[in-house]
Chain A
């Protein structure tokens, strides 16, 4: 299928969606109290760009949400990748730590948000901690799996060439597990982005999630929809960025 054809069909699809959305309001199938139309959302966007929303600018909210998300994610990655690699290579490390990680992994972050706020306060620290706790087990598990599937032959070969354990880790294990690690990173980032909105539910004063919840208290569906669209676009953007980095870095994946 030619790329331009799928692009055209995709655009057609989106356009149809927009038209249906517009018609729902225009034909009063659903009252505009319950569902703002595209024009209202656009008007809200223009208004917020000029006047801000409750003393916060749109840029401020976007940066706050993205900043928290990336801070928690980066911390989880910087800690989780080395730890996971080590656990994949060392049975002792695995036995000592894995059971804690596997218990944390299926725990939905929102369930312990209140505890994190109690421990870390109502500022950004508790929110970043929430994102960290959500992303860390996934990334660690992925790094573990990645390290495990590195062919033992490769490691042996490197060792026989006189490589030190550090060199083996850095030049053989790490690159070979990169593809699995990236799968984990992509899943973790998606989860972190979801969680950051949940984290902005309690005691937040900025952020796209805060904007949506704040607007919901006054049933401003136009701002709610604006927030959702922005969140979706940024979510797609973050996802795409990782995919692009993934493709550029792991260019040899197919050839293994």
Chain B
């Protein structure tokens, strides 16, 4: 049997199960909306938007926050991580904070951020920034640490300067791990985005789900979840493509 047939079989079983559960009334619409309702909800969102703002604006708001928070966090985190990998002093000083921040649940300090930074975009972006920073830093640091010393010595014996060694040996070698860290960071940032849209604001796809959930509009909630899912997949694919382009020698190391 061809593999795609297996995929099709699972997909159709799930779809059939869904339709049976909803159309036969075994499960109330509140718990699992029938396909028709989801379709209507999607059309409604596309035509009328949600709470008087078009759907694409909500999606754009969320994406802008993700990119800004991730961009800043990954950039500064990578920089910090490179420094930590190179200079043991920086590592010793920064490590306690990085290691503490990394497993810290974001929603827990979100409250403090609102109190300090207000309800605007600043607190949200800061939260996302802090979510991405530790992961990127650790990835960059490990990337530097795992550079083959043999290579570095070869470059040194060829008379390369410290900067040249970094640019041509260390950085390219660490890039693979930096990208792995980046993919992880995007996932975390994306998840944290939903958390950050719980605070003030009237926009964002995460806020839309939360608001719809308050009134038990399961149809909007489901459509929103589907949109979030596809957005997440797209983000991951984007990074994979970037990784493939820039780290194309990863296999050959």
Contacts and interface: CB of A to CB of B under 8 A. Distances in A.
Given A10-B92, A115-B218, 16 more contacts: A35-B115, A94-B3, A95-B5, A95-B7, A96-B6, A102-B233, A103-B233, A108-B206, A108-B232, A119-B31, A196-B105, A197-B108, A212-B108, A221-B115, A228-B108, A232-B100
Given A13-B92, A236-B103, A108 B108 contact: no
Interface stretch (A40-48, A153-161, A172-180, A186-194): A186-194
Contacts of B96: 10, 13-14
Interface in B1-21: 1, 3-7, 9-11, 14
B194 interface: yes
A107 interface: yes
B95 A187 contact: no
Contacts of B1: 92
A66 interface: no
Interface in A209-256: 209, 212-213, 216, 219, 221, 224-225, 227-228, 231-232, 235-236, 238-239
A111 B224 contact: yes
A236 B99 contact: yes
B213 A194 contact: no
Interface of A: 1, 5-10, 12-14, 17, 30, 34-35, 91-97, 99-100, 102-112, 114-115, 118-119, 187, 190-191, 193-198, 201, 209, 212-213, 216, 219, 221, 224-225, 227-228, 231-232, 235-236, 238-239
Contact of B31 (A96, A109, A118): A118
Contacts, number: 168
A65 to B, nearest CB: 10
Q: Is the interface of B mostly helix, strand, loop or mixed?
A: helix
- Chain A interface mostly: helix
Contacts of B195: 108, 110, 198
Contacts of B228: 107-108, 111
Contacts of A228: 104, 108-109, 112
Interface stretch (B37-45, B119-127, B185-193): B185-193
Interface string B129-165: 0000000000000000000000000000000000000
Contacts of A112: 221, 225
6 contacts: A1-B91, A96-B6, A108-B191, A110-B206, A232-B101, A236-B103
Contacts of A35: 112, 115-116
A125 to B, nearest CB: 15
Contacts of A236: 99-100, 103
B173 interface: no
Contacts of A30: 116
Contacts of A1: 88-89, 91-92
